[in-house]
Chains A and B, each alone.
Chain A
Amino acid sequence: MDASQAQNRTYLGMPLARPRVAFFELSSCEGCQLQIVNNEANLLDFLSLVTVVNFREAMTEKSDAYDIAFVEGSVTRADEIERLAVIRKNAKVLVAFGSCACFGGVTQLKNRFKDPAWVKKQVYGDRSIQTNDTARPLEDFVSVDLRIYGCPVKKEEVEKIVTHVVLGRSIVQPKYPVCMECKENENTCLFDLGEPCLGPVTRGGCDSWCPNSRFGCWGCRGPAEDANVGQLQVIMKQYGFTEETLLDRLECFGGFAKDAEQLRTNMKLSPRRHEGTK
């Protein structure tokens, strides 16, 4: 489809605006952005829905006039807070794009040490390096209009959400756990195969991506509504998994940060475990 045609798209007889979208990354692996480019089959359709005005990873042209900003990554340095504030000012809709942006993602794993000097020294020795003591989600600094969960985000879900935004429909995120989708997919439950899984407490929407591969869920999309972590703890114990295994999964992506903190305190477990109490 050429540009002029796209400008004249209609939906139910109404002319359709073609929102200007921009992509930005803070501290991240850039994987969530790449999921857009990785979507070869529908990429061109997707691009006909929007006008991409800022996507540093893919294009040289840039503009600060955009409607929707997709921000990937967590906030780990002072200059990122400033960049984020500018993006917030320019954007009508600010989307926290992926689990790093929503919860801090894997990067927040450094927070558990509570010892920023040790963390820096581990990588940079005595050289001074600028970094914030903790990795934080976007919502700790600016208001976020929309969250797209996942590490990485699921491209089908991104498309659906973007289409809804373009059409002005409201967006409903799944509240049910991964288990629901897993059962629909008729997978053998991993617990029965001797593997741990966070599916019972994790927000669905990924179509049980990991269990479909016989790989237990690590909770990358954060808690489902009414997630009962206490009950999962009992199940994990019944199946013979250690609290440490549960903790590793709960703390991996930041969505269960409070539960993980609680569990670590109960376990009296040092974050540098091999030299700690366990």
Chain B
Amino acid sequence: MGNTVEVSNVSKSFNGQFVVRDISFDIAKGEVFGLIGPNGAGKTTIIRMLLDILRPDSGGLSILGSGLTDDIKDRIGYLPEERGLYQRLTVMDTLAYLGALKNKQSKRRTLELLETMGMLSHKDKKISELSKGMAQKIQLIAAISHDPEFIILDEPFSGLDPVNMKLVNDLILELGKRGKTILISTHMMDQVERMCDRIFMIHKGNGVLYGSVGEIKSRFGKNTILLEFDGELKDIKGVKKINHSGNYAELLLESGADTQDVLKTIASKVRVSKFELSAPSLNEIFIQVVEEA
């Protein structure tokens, strides 16, 4: 089978302003695909166009084959960015209703998912009695309880604590292993780096990066030093930027700088316990792309 999603030359403007401009990408079947970009870049707009919630001004989109019929919608799961549920319904009623709309209700699977997400004991509570993060987990369950082939998750991690973030993370990986095609839009670059096979980055409506994570990183070259150290690290010749995090740091080299010289300089200033030459993190690439644009 071909691609699950095909987007070709899609443009969309609101009030005469381009929000998405001439964008093309594909998502292969079984792929975990990251759609990234700064706030207001147009990610949610692309997702809404994929689901025919918004219509593109020009260009073509296809999901799971041709037109987006009800049958095809039944094979898609969607966690929208705008979170909301019926406040007066119970968790089970909510999931039953949203499941019924997908024509593929499985109470057993719903209960299993509630169990994995640690929500089983809350199943008879009203939505209004849940915390924001809990409601979000319910929405995630609603998006996948009909066992869809293609899952779209718009910022699935926002507002979750680290434990729940891991739960969601594991769930996505599990779905990926089972051959589901997954589109994730998120600002968590380390998650993208770990989970996604390929990514598409959009900035101000324009596509700026597209490809597998490894390939994109190698495109940026091994120009980064990962350092674990003791002491104070600053003003190092040949380094254009230092991203500190405690005793760790990510050092961006100037082009043409000799890593051996840099290492010597560093060693003279601080105690080095680990030194690694590496490609920049996706986070760093993201920031670079946005700053350079």
A and B are partners in one complex rather than unrelated chains? no
Binding site for A on B (CB under 8 A): none
Binding site for B on A (CB under 8 A): none
